[in-house]
A and B are shown apart, each in its own frame.
Chain A
Amino acid sequence: MASTAILGDRAPPRIKPLVGGEDRFAQVLFVAACATLALFLLAPLAMILVKSVQDKDGGFVGLALFSSYLATPALQQSIWNTLWVASAVTALTVPLAFIFAYALTRSRMPGKAFFRVIALTPLLAPSLLAAISFIQWFGNQGLLKGLLGAVSIYGPLGIVLSSMYATFPHALMIVLTALLLADGRLYEAAESLRTPTWRKFATITFPGAKYGIVSAAMVVFSYTVSDFGIPKVIGGNFNMLAVDIFKEVIGQQNFNRGAVVSLVLLFPVLLAFGVDWLMQGRQSAQFSARAVAYVPKRQPWFDAGMFAYCAGIAILLLAVLGMAVYTSFIKLWPYDKSFSLRHYTFGLIDGGVISSYFNSVHMALATAFFGTLFIFGSAYLLEKTRGLPGTRAVMRLLTAIPMAVPGMVLGLGYILFFNAPANPLNGLYHTMTILVLATIVHYYTSSHLTAVTALKALDDEFEAVSASLKVPFYKTFFRVTVPVCLPAVLDIGRYLFVNAMVTISAVVFLYSPATQLASVAVLNLDEAGEIGPAAAMATLIVATSSAVCIVYAIVTRILLTRTQAWRVAAPDK
């Protein structure tokens, strides 16, 4: 029997592995992806930093712009307005969303699927739609103006209400996920110990959902701080930071001042993002993989109460959406309420504004296609190929940043960077391409997380097995990874499409007359007092987004049926 061959104890120099051709290819692709994201994310942001310490002629002025800005009383007022409005929206929306999510997960009320769909409809519309709708309900000629007494809807009240509408589904989705993760066994254990209901809530439900609540609060806060469409339309003379940037840049063409304001805007959003990130880090160890899903018991009174609550919220949400749609189909609010398509035919088509709708569809399709390709491909290279640990860490950071950058800030960075005469990419300015790029980057983080979650569900060893079988990685990518992850890939495409249809803050600085988008058209029509055509355009956006979501649902269902032979558990959709 041969024994161990001990071949000396000396330490030879550190081994450097040879990199095979395919691995090299993967690394080149990965570095290229990382460089591309850095170019279209970091470079524009860096330009904002540079411009904020320069005067109009490019001379270095240090922090002079910041100090003069912060000394202006009107602008101090904007900061204060922005913060308290965002705090109010957060304080109101998150509890409302929590109770709604609680009803969906902890009661046996009927119509859960219906309520869930209704609650998510605000995602299909540009945020402006809510503002337009509230003006129709409570504005100067509003149906329910009398309810408000002397208070005007134009101002903080309108901004808060519209923002609550727009942020409700965002908060709901996060809290819902947190509540769905509950471990049913904990409730059974509490039951066996005769724990009263309030104590179960305080000791099991709330601690389990706590991080979700914080996360939802941070998302709502950031959204309200960053959103520009709502205060622009319904804000009246009430100043908010996002509108200030718009005024500085578009109104006064003062890019340096715009850069300063956008950095001030970035600060609270970064703070919220940082808080959320810290909290998520603590949460990780909380759930065991063996958790058993909680199944609520029938409690007639509780279920009835929850049903009434959800029905109330659903009616309010539909009233907002419905008013905008209704406005688009009547002759002239409030004088002639007869049915008419004139806002569509005369207002949009004859006015030539309809081209911006097609621009939007074109832009959304391109964003969905190229965005999904780039984001999923990069996530694959990041998670499943080997080597280059430093670049990988950079890429992980890059993918997280877009979430923390308000669309206005990104958009301003794009002007500053791509409009610079010295930039060889200067030709992109005012093209459809730059709108697509800005939108992909703006919505990068969520899409990336969807891709990573799907990729992490795959066996870690697929790539190792392929290598041992001498099958190149790209072949396994196309034969196995993409087919298995197809539901997630479609989900990313749908998410990018819908957001490209509704976004305004990322693109408001970047469009040209030839590439005006539908959401921007809503803004401009509203500004011109053409509220009927504005509502019609908003309705077209909602209809298109809904159609894409329905197509997505059908395709996904067909796909899952066709592949159920090998898909053990269909993903929860």
Chain B
Amino acid sequence: MTDTDAPYLTLAGVRKSFGAFTALDNVSLAVERGEMMLFLGPSGCGKTTLLRIIAGLETQDAGTIVQSGRDVSRLPAAKRDYGIVFQSYALFPNLTIFANVAYGLVNRRGEHAAIVARVRELLSLVGLADAGAKYPGQLSGGQQQRVALARALAPAPGLLLLDEPLSALDALERLRLRGEIRALQQRLGVTTIMVTHDQEEALSMADRIVVMNQGRIEQVGAPRVVYETPATPFTADFVGKVNVLPAVCEGGGRFKVGALSLVVAGSMQTQGTAVRLYLRPEDIALQANGAHVPNEVGATVLKVEFLGAFCLVGVTLTDAGTGPLVLNVPRHTADAAGLVRGAAVNLCLPPDAMRVLN
């Protein structure tokens, strides 16, 4: 079963509850060899529990875990093959950086010279070649997390687990380390699972994202797929901002929103079904008067929130009878269109950008 086509890690029917609380409800998943997979969801969605079950730090109530063709479902943590990095770094404070990185190597009775070479290699890999003699307390948070990464990778594990590794860092450090981790992962080709609640982190780092909610997997897919074609209302709402329009299907790809009738590309709902239309703020286009496009609607500007490069523009659609919509408009476009509170504008709701979900 160790042929390279089989998934590296397969979870099947994993369940876990803590008392009356169901942390994981029948989770099944396959992770490909060399892939970087991100578990994304709000706190309490079960993503960390799932990671800890993969690590053997928690035991699932039911379900199997197969790693590289080996059933590890019941194995204790020490018998599995992975390296792990925690949000808190968990570096041993009384050991030097060198000793921390060597911690898992010494025990395997490698030769001393080989260990020294391996630690040097890893420290330069994470950009801390000169820090070996220091103690963790003397490094910044970002540097400590790099050391934790080096320590986890030192024994060359088949699987790398990252439990919110960036959450304790300040914003700049987080951005920098995000790129470094991804680059390192791609360079080493190590299968990696990372847990995060930050959607931007997930979109920027992942090969595939697993969106989780209340112990269940909502969607698994590449970042673009998850963002552009969310499979569930939860995904649409949790990943990125989204406008929601309650609508009724009129058949023939047309949907009635208040007094408006909108066209949605590729929809197959039966007539009379109550649905919701999902539309990203940046997909709504400002329309010059006179040009004829599908789904052209009139609207009134409620407020303009200046965010630097972009403006968030709140509008109400004329005749739609819905709550306000939000548009994401580049600063210059907003200026050119004269978007101020109370202004009347024409908008286009592009048929191919709208998603229909029940």
Using a CB–CB cutoff of 8 Å, the interface residues on chain A facing chain B are: 1-20, 22-23, 459-462, 464-472, 475-476, 479-480, 483-484, 563, 565-568
Contacts and interface: CB of A to CB of B under 8 A. Distances in A.
B63 A469 contact: no
B80 to A, nearest CB: 8
B138 interface: yes
Interface string B220-262: 1110000000000000000000000000000000000000000
Nearest to B57: A464
A462 B91 CA distance: 8
Nearest to B86: A461
B129 interface: no
17 contacts: A2-B30, A5-B10, A7-B28, A8-B13, A9-B13, A13-B62, A18-B79, A461-B86, A465-B86, A465-B151, A467-B56, A467-B77, A468-B55, A469-B155, A470-B108, A480-B92, A483-B94
A468 B103 CA distance: 11
Contacts of A20: 75-76, 78-79
A17 B53 CA distance: 11
Given A7-B28, A17-B59, A465-B152, 11 more contacts: A15-B60, A15-B74, A16-B74, A18-B75, A20-B79, A459-B86, A461-B90, A465-B151, A469-B155, A483-B94, A566-B94
B94 A563 contact: yes
Interface residues of B, number: 56
B55 to A, nearest CB: 7
A5 B30 contact: yes
B107 A1 contact: no
Nearest to B219: A4
What is the interface of chain A mostly: helix, strand, loop, or mixed?
A: loop
B90 A17 contact: no
B15 interface: yes
B12 A18 contact: no
Contacts of B217: 4
B88 interface: yes
Interface of B: 7, 10, 12-13, 15, 26, 28-30, 32, 55-57, 59-64, 73-80, 82-84, 86, 88-90, 92-95, 103-104, 107-108, 135-138, 151-152, 154-155, 157, 208, 217, 220-222
A13 B73 CA distance: 13
Nearest to B91: A459
Nearest to B159: A468
Given A7-B13, A484-B94, A469 B151 contact: yes
Nearest to B85: A465
Contacts of A466: 103
B61 A15 contact: yes
Contact of B77 (A1, A462, A464): A464
Contacts of B82: 468
A1 B94 contact: no
A24 to B, nearest CB: 9
Contact of B104 (A464, A470, A566, A567): A470
